[in-house]
Every structure is written in structure tokens, then in C-alpha cells.
Amino acid sequence: MFEKIKAAILDGDVEETAALVKKALADGLEPLEVLNKGCIPGIEKAGALFEAEEFFLPELITAGEATKAAMELLLPELRKKEDAWQSAGKFVIGTVEGDMHDIGKSIVASMLSAAGFEVFDLGIDVSAERFIEEIKTKEPDFLGLSALLTSTMPKQQEVIDALKEAGLRDKVKVFVGGAPVSSEWAEKIGADGYAEDAVAAVKLAKKSKE
């Protein structure tokens, strides 16, 4: 069963992945085991293939969507057994105000979920005020700011400045990403880290929790 789930994720087959996860749960398999032995190996393999340039962005996107479908089924069950499942950390993520790009950010969110993070995806065109509200209510360990346009990159700095004004900057680690974003830009605006893709984002978050 675990190999079938892994294969379905690698194939990017959302319906098959969901069906297999439902069957695994119905058959009495532990949700944590389904996550650790089926879903995580699947999305990690997809990430490794992407890094090796054997997978390209479309394959990574579909693998991320399949993983997202699995997580939607598994997370409610995992939360019922929180004594057995410990979240790797809370992660609020969104695409900054004025930017309507969703795909890259959604892949990052899916892979973070599969890696054990509790992810709150705010979607696209998210204002600095909305980010601040979510930081106050969710109290996350991490904040991910995506910008896919050169013109919206300054909004990442606006959010960091707003965090400082609200006295929240020291409460959360801020990661930035997106096609025009760089490690130099991250350093310039005072972010805690930069990830060039979803695979790097997961590694960065895990390393920051060590």
C-alpha cells in the first residue's frame, strides 16, 4: 500500500492518491504510518528527481497536488492523535499583495505539509496587514513570503517592516522566495532566509528548527 501511494504521488495522480489513502485508513493503517511510509517518501523522491533534473516543474506541481490531496485526508486524523504526531512547526505562507501567482507557493505549502509542518496558506495578493493578523492569531514559527514579479518584491520588505512596527519581528522567522528573488535580496531586506524552490524551502525550514 505504501509503495502504491508513493507511486501515485510520483505519477501526480490526485484521484488515485486520495483513493489509496482513504483505503489505507479504512483498512486500519495508522495515519502517521501512511504519512511517513507513503506520502513523505513520494514527495521527497519527487523533490530529488527535480533536483537531478529528471523531473521538471509540471511533474513537481502534480506531485505536490497529489500530496496536498493526501494531506487533506491525513491531517484531521493526525490531529486526533497529537500525542503520536508532533508538528514540525507552524508555517504561515502567502503570495504578497499585488501578485496573483499561486503555483510555486502552493508547491512549497504542499511539500511543507508532507514534511510535517502545520501550514496556513493565505493564498495570493495578501496584504501586510493580513500577514500581521495571521501572525498574531496563529503564532507561527515561520512566515513564507512569495513574490513572482520584480514589481512586487518590495512588498516582501513592507511585510518585514510591518512586523517590526507591530513588535513581532523577533517572534517569527521570515523566508522569502520567487523567481526574481535572491539570497542577496533576502539579506538586504532583513529576511532570515531565501529558498530558490520548494525542495530548498523544506530543507531551510527543517534546518532552522534544529
Question: Which pLDDT tens digit goes with each residue over 125-171?
Answer: 999 999 999 999 999 999 999 999 999 999 999 999 999 999 999 99
Q: What stretch(es) of the chain map to CATH 3.40.50.280?
A: 89-209
Higher pLDDT, 208 or 93: 93
Any idea which residue has 505562507 for its cell? Answer: 93
Task: Output the pLDDT for position 129.
Answer: 97
Q: Are 91 and 120 in contact (CB under 8 A)?
A: yes
Q: How far apart are CA 80 and CA 37, in angstroms?
A: 19
Of the CATH numbers 1.10.10.10, 1.10.1240.10, 1.10.730.10, 3.40.50.150, which one belongs to the domain with range 2-80?
A: 1.10.1240.10
Q: How far apart are CA 118 and CA 54, in angstroms?
A: 29
Task: Output the pLDDT for position 92.
Answer: 97
Question: Which pLDDT tens digit goes with each residue over 89-115?
Answer: 999 999 999 999 887 888 888 888 878
Q: Phi-psi region for residue 28, left (φ > 0), alpha (ψ -120 to 50) or beta?
A: left
User: Rounded mean pLDDT of 178-207?
Assistant: 92
**89-209 is classed CATH 3.50.50.60:** no
